[in-house]
A and B are shown apart, each in its own frame.
Chain A
Amino acid sequence: MVRDTVTALTRRLRHRLTEPLPAPPATLRRGPFRAGAFPSRLRSARLTSQLGVALGVAFAVCFLTGLLSHLIQHPPGWFWWPSRPVWLYRVTQGVHVATGLACVPLLGVKLWSVYPRLFAWPPLRSIAHAAERAGVALLVAAALFQVLSGVLNIAHWYAPMPFFFTTGHYWVAWLVTGALLVHLGVQLPAIREALRRRGPGRPVPDGERLTRRGLLGGAAAAVGLITVTTVGQTVRPLSGLGLLAPRRPDVGPQGLPVNKTAAGAGIALDAAAYRLILAGPAGETALGLAALNAMPQRTVHLPIACVEGWSAGATWTGVRLRDLVTLAGADPERSTVLVESLEQRGRYRTSTVPAEHVRDPLTLIALRLGGDVLHPDHGYPARLIAPNRPGVLQTKWVGRLTVLPAR
């Protein structure tokens, strides 16, 4: 009985949603709304589907690597991130930015291939059709948002973005993912059909007309050129080709790029008066530079890997964080450390080193870079350097370490 009622309700709802809406008067069908307004024979369901698959994979890669970076920076209770391999974050974030840049031509051609659908007639066939179109508008807007804001961000051009990049890019990532899932659900039969059919049944082109394969080749060439001219910001052997790389892994003070300078962070330091405050179960200790230099020094080779996709390896020398934790009277196997900078303010003034990284003997409070005392812009007198961790969490100008029990 109840089941019958539900079935009847579903049927009525479906009828209501798919019932044809009154079409607008035909005299309004002008300009791009006319039949045959878009004459290119290059557009096809197959082209659109092939580009869609490539874009879908690219967006999935960007979403997962981006979400990973977000979780590392804002770890919820269940999240666990290892300290090894040391290069993992540099790879995932390098891939995030490279894949996002590869989306520029893919998204451009994909939107070109479906542009005539913007002028479908009648514009709204039914309520279901209207909902689908709203979903597509959301998908297009969100996809453009992600690609454009990403490109602007690596170019350090924030003025055209009336929002905080990290927050906007994060939430719209969810938006584009949701809209993509809906789109995939709606178009699944059309995609399957388009990809199943072998080749075009059309006459062989005469060589001068651009073919589907030619267009895909052009898009692939664009992806290749963009990748080759930018990926050198993280792949050092290719840095010479990086004509459009926003960073060079070897350009900066002491041959290493910098995100925030000492002047930018408002650091004016009297080295003689500097003390690193170490707080833990044994109470508070104030360590001057001489005391830090007197502790056992370790040298490690670790990359700085920025969320913006660049990365560079460097040789760091300093005190193991685990040794400082022991000095503070805690067990280095079971501790986390809150690292505070001398910066007065700033989003990344503090960071928490999870137990995994505290334990790792590669994690240092570094005093030297490449054998020389740290440049002020690299965090003189002392900075955190840990394996497999975003650059924004490698706190510079460390003023205080608070050792806490691991969660």
Chain B
Amino acid sequence: MRTRVALVSAGALVIAYAMVGVSHEIGAVVFLAVALVVHDALWMPLVLVAGALLARTGSWTRMVALVLASVGVVALPLVLGPGGPADNPSVLPLRYGRDFVLILLGVVLISGVRAVVRKKFARSRDRGGG
């Protein structure tokens, strides 16, 4: 109990300190609120719908979807953002759209190969057993 009280008290103090700093950055407060609302009211329902649609396709598809969604969060700002300044080609030097598609294809290809291999194994096992 003592540990818990210490954690909650320390946490509350740190939050109070942070609030002082954050309150000077109204834009940051807006971003906090928007991030929370967009995640809870838009992103998560989409994820749940996608999960429900994929539920019948087996566990592997859902894992692939998880991996692709995660990589997408990292890749999309690189793809959709404005890129580096025109006079500085060392900022964001790659073709991120193409690279993202390559990664998607790679992951899908690996899962395809895995599915074929599994099917083959299952068949030979059936034959061996029969």
**Chain A interface (Cβ < 8 Å from any Cβ of B):** 38, 40, 101, 104-105, 108-109, 111-112, 115, 118, 137-138, 140-142, 144-145, 148-149, 151-152, 155-157, 159, 161-164, 167-168, 170-172, 174-175, 177-186, 188-189, 207-211, 214-215, 217-219, 221-223, 225-226, 229-230, 242-248, 251-253, 256-261, 263-264, 377
Report the Cα distance A189→B17, complex, angstroms: 27
| Chain A residues whose C-beta falls within 8 Å of the C-beta of B99 in the assembled complex | 229, 243-244
Interface residues in B70-85 (C-beta closer than 8 Å to A): 70-71, 73-75, 77-78, 80-85
Interface residues in B87-106 (C-beta closer than 8 Å to A): 87-94, 96, 99-100, 102-103
Report whether A145 and B35 are in contact in the complex, using a CB–CB cutoff of 8 Å.
yes
Report whether B63 and A221 are in contact in the complex, using a CB–CB cutoff of 8 Å.
yes
| Chain B residues whose C-beta falls within 8 Å of the C-beta of A167 in the assembled complex | 21, 25, 28
Report whether B14 and A243 are in contact in the complex, using a CB–CB cutoff of 8 Å.
no
Contact with B39, one of A144, A168, A210, A246 (Cβ below 8 angstroms): A144
Is B11 engaged at the interface, CB distance under 8 Å to the other chain? yes
Report whether B59 and A208 are in contact in the complex, using a CB–CB cutoff of 8 Å.
yes
Given contacts A162-B27, A258-B91, 8 further A-B contacts (CB under 8 A): A161-B27, A162-B30, A168-B22, A185-B4, A185-B7, A186-B8, A259-B88, A264-B87
Report whether B36 and A244 are in contact in the complex, using a CB–CB cutoff of 8 Å.
no
Q: List 20 A-B contacts (CB under 8 A).
A: A111-B44, A137-B36, A141-B33, A142-B32, A151-B74, A152-B81, A155-B81, A156-B84, A171-B28, A178-B14, A182-B11, A218-B66, A243-B94, A243-B96, A244-B71, A244-B74, A252-B89, A253-B90, A259-B91, A264-B85
User: Which are the 7 A-B pairs with shortest beta-carbon distances?
Assistant: A178-B14, A181-B11, A185-B7, A157-B81, A252-B90, A163-B27, A182-B11
**Cβ distance B124 to chain A, nearest Cβ, rounded Å:** 17
**Cβ distance A154 to chain B, nearest Cβ, rounded Å:** 8
Contact with A138, one of B7, B15, B66, B80 (Cβ below 8 angstroms): B15
Report whether A181 and B90 are in contact in the complex, using a CB–CB cutoff of 8 Å.
no
**Chain B interface (Cβ < 8 Å from any Cβ of A):** 3-8, 10-19, 21-22, 25-28, 30-33, 35-36, 39-40, 44, 47-48, 51, 58-59, 62-63, 66-67, 69-71, 73-75, 77-78, 80-85, 87-94, 96, 99-100, 102-103, 107
**A161-B31, A253-B90 known; A185 vs B5 contact (CB < 8 Å):** yes
Report whether A226 and B70 are in contact in the complex, using a CB–CB cutoff of 8 Å.
yes
